[in-house]
Chain A
Amino acid sequence: QQQVKQSPQSLIVQKGGISIINCAYENTAFDYFPWYQQFPGKGPALLIAIRPDVSEKKEGRFTISFNKSAKQFSLHIMDSQPGDSATYFCAASMLGTGNQFYFGTGTSLTVIP
């Protein structure tokens, strides 16, 4: 059973546009929600993360929006650039019980120049 559901599977955005990737979870015990970026042939790298006590976190062009009541969180990439073309994974974990990450299935983002 997929603990974290991610959509869309793939996304094509024009340069300068906004990329939006959504994730949903069921387990209300999750209390840490990171987003990872993965380029072909590389390991995932942490992009940004949020705890459920805040509704939004922004780092540069990347913003996480978190809706605790809906059990959903999303990644917004503003002013998308061709260099952002990668696979993005959301994840969730329970910090108090071993930090096992449950990953979404990934979104392949292509930013067209």
Chain B
Amino acid sequence: DSGVTQTPKHLITATGQRVTLRCSPRSGDLSVYWYQQSLDQGLQFLIQYYNGEERAKGNILERFSAQQFPDLHSELNLSSLELGDSALYFCASSVVSVGEQFFGPGTRLTVL
């Protein structure tokens, strides 16, 4: 158990809908990262927050957005969902903005 929690574990929704994925980092970790894992794309970095501020952006679609709240938990919002958005979404955290990242168990999103 990494200490990173993610909810929900599974999410099934329809195309065009909007969902919110939640992540609570390990106690004391200031940095949160979001990754998408799909069969054809592997693990792709989406976005990083450090102590509430956006630190780095990767291959994140404009339909996706994220934020980190004062209590350091983070939410990833996915809107206008498409079939191709079906994937595992992982959150990871680290103490500072460098070094080892600890991954949560992931949220499996299925878009029908």
Which A residues have a C-beta under 8 Å from some C-beta of B?
32, 34, 36, 41-46, 49, 89, 95-106
Contacts and interface: CB of A to CB of B under 8 A. Distances in A.
B103 A44 contact: yes
A46 B102 contact: yes
Nearest to B9: A41
Contact of A99 (B48, B90, B103): B48
Given A32-B98, A101-B45, A106-B42, 17 more contacts: A34-B101, A43-B4, A43-B103, A43-B106, A44-B103, A45-B2, A45-B103, A46-B100, A46-B101, A49-B100, A99-B33, A99-B94, A99-B101, A100-B56, A104-B42, A105-B42, A106-B43
A43 B92 CA distance: 9
Interface size class of B (residues with CB under 8 A): 20 to 34
B16 interface: no
A13 to B, nearest CB: 22
Contacts of B8: none
- Summarize B's interface: helix, strand, loop or mixed: strand
11 contacts: A43-B4, A43-B92, A43-B103, A45-B2, A46-B100, A98-B56, A99-B31, A99-B56, A99-B98, A101-B35, A104-B42
A52 B58 CA distance: 24
B99 interface: yes
B52 interface: no
B18 interface: no
A98 B54 CA distance: 10
Given A43-B90, A98-B56, A34 B100 contact: yes
B26 to A, nearest CB: 12
